[in-house]
Amino acid sequence: MQAKSNISTTRGYDPLMAGGRPAIKKPTSFGMTLAKARKTAGLTQSELAASVGVTQRVIAYWERESIGLKSEQLTALSAVLNVSTDQLLGLQTKSPAKGGIKGRAKKLFDEVHSLPRSKQRRVLDVIETLLAGEAARS
């Protein structure tokens, strides 16, 4: 008689799952807030982890478990995600209206900003040319 694994029958793993194996536990309110802020910022768990100085597994843990963050970690998350610590802790429900670029575009423009002025002009010329081409097609 061949024994079947309960895992494969109850929670099968599909290799096509984009986010990996689904979590068993329901995330905490902080975890849901953190995940929402991360997605709003256009960051993956790995990108956020690199910015804060932890591993992707730590971010995944923070998004699903009840945790106690150090104040340095909370302020680092707040700065990277461009939200207040009150918002992350669920003390402020409305986010102030903010303009500007987010996510990947912000990171790229921050890199461009660190270039010498002559190289910044060249990058901006390329972007303006691309945007003009898109406007002409519309």
Contact between residue 87 and residue 38 where contact means Cβ atoms under 8 Å apart = no
Domain ranges in the chain with CATH number 1.10.260.40:
11-93
Higher pLDDT, 13 or 89: 89
User: What phi, psi does 137 have (nearest 5°)?
Assistant: -75, -25
Name the CATH code of domain 11-93 (choices 1.10.260.40, 3.40.50.10860, 3.40.1190.10, 1.20.1290.10). Answer: 1.10.260.40
* 56 — pLDDT class (breaks 50, 70, 90): very high
pLDDT of residue 12: 56
What is the rounded end-to-end Cα distance, in angstroms, of the chain? 66
**Mean pLDDT across the chain, nearest whole number?**
78
Whether 64 shows a pLDDT value over 70: the answer reads yes
pTM, two decimals, is: 0.53
Contact between residue 38 and residue 45 where contact means Cβ atoms under 8 Å apart = yes
* 21 — pLDDT class (breaks 50, 70, 90): low
Q: How far apart are CA 59 and CA 72, in angstroms?
A: 15
pLDDT of residue 8: 45
Q: How far apart are CA 91 and CA 105, in angstroms?
A: 29
Under the phi-then-psi rule, with left for phi > 0, alpha for psi from -120 to 50, and beta for the rest, what region is 100?
left
Contact between residue 41 and residue 102 where contact means Cβ atoms under 8 Å apart = yes
Contact between residue 112 and residue 123 where contact means Cβ atoms under 8 Å apart = yes
* 54 — pLDDT class (breaks 50, 70, 90): very high
